[in-house]
Amino acid sequence: MRLICRPSLRIVLFLLAARFPVFAQDQPKHVDVAAIAARPDDVSSIDGIMKAFYEVISGPKGQARQWARDRTLYISDIRFVAMSEDEHGKPVAQIASHQQFVDYGDPELVGKGFFEKEIHRVTQRFGNIVHVFSTYESRRAADGPLIARGINSVELFWDGKRWWIAANTWDDERPDNPIPQQYLP
């Protein structure tokens, strides 16, 4: 599947999408995600929501991911879009709901471990809408070798009480798709 890359969750979607044609194969085991209230620190600022965005999917092998906390960051019908390329270099968009992302990503993230962190951010704001280009690095262990880098394109809005993530699209760095200097630290 974070289809997923959000190992970054973003990376998880990408890695899984590359291995499994979009939901055409066997369906993954359903992962129940409890409905909980958002943590005020997670949703009261752009920094807070972006910090939580990466924390919820990161952890060592065998550690459950914070899917309930993750769900509180997004609007109810969020879509994750993991960009990749097919064997001919043609762009492919893997699109998932939050539940699909969780169901496909959980075995990979928990089974192998996954840590994703933001290394640079470019934020553009107009009124109550924000676009964030968040450059990430992904690893299987917190201090392990780099397995991927890329950019999350995150759309957010402020509803007068809290921040919401309305969409997340990402693409991994590849030899033919290097991260531009302006998006690196």
| Beta bridge partner(s), residue 103 | none
Q: What percent of the chain has pLDDT over 90?
A: 85
Residue range 34-66, pLDDT digits in tens: 999 999 999 999 999 999 999 999 999 999 999
The dihedrals phi and psi of 57, each to the nearest 5 degrees, come to -100, -10
Residue range 130-165, pLDDT digits in tens: 999 999 999 999 999 999 999 999 999 999 999 999
Helix (H) or strand (E) holding 14: helix 9-19
Please report the pLDDT score of residue 24 as a whole number: 45
**Three-state secondary structure call for residue 161:** coil
Please report the pLDDT score of residue 9 as a whole number: 47
Please report the pLDDT score of residue 2 as a whole number: 36
CATH code 3.20.20.140 for 9-183: no
Give CA–CA dist 133/122, Å, rounded: 5
Q: Higher pLDDT residue, 97 or 26? A: 97
Q: What is the mean pLDDT of the chain?
A: 90
Q: Which two tokens stand for residue 8?
A: 């970054």
Residue range 14-25, pLDDT digits in tens: 444 444 444 445
Q: Where residue 1 falls among pLDDT bands split at 50, 70, 90?
A: very low
Please report the pLDDT score of residue 27 as a whole number: 80
Domain ranges of the chain: 9-183
| Beta bridge partner(s), residue 156 | 130, 165
**What is the DSSP annotation of 73-142?**
TB-TT--EEEEEE-TTS-EEEEEE-HHHHHHHHHHHHHHH-BEEEEEEEEEEEETTEEEEEEEEEEESST
Half-sphere exposure of 56 (CA within 13 A, CB side): 27
**Three-state secondary structure call for residue 168:** strand
* Tokens 């991994």 -> residue: 172
Mean of the pLDDT values across residues 1-9? 39
Give CA–CA dist 78/71, Å, rounded: 9
Is residue 72's pLDDT more than 80?
A: yes
Residue range 104-119, pLDDT digits in tens: 999 999 999 999 999 9
Give CA–CA dist 100/32, Å, rounded: 11
Q: Which of 69, 101, 90, 68 is nearest to 168 (CA)?
A: 101
Please report the pLDDT score of residue 25 as a whole number: 53
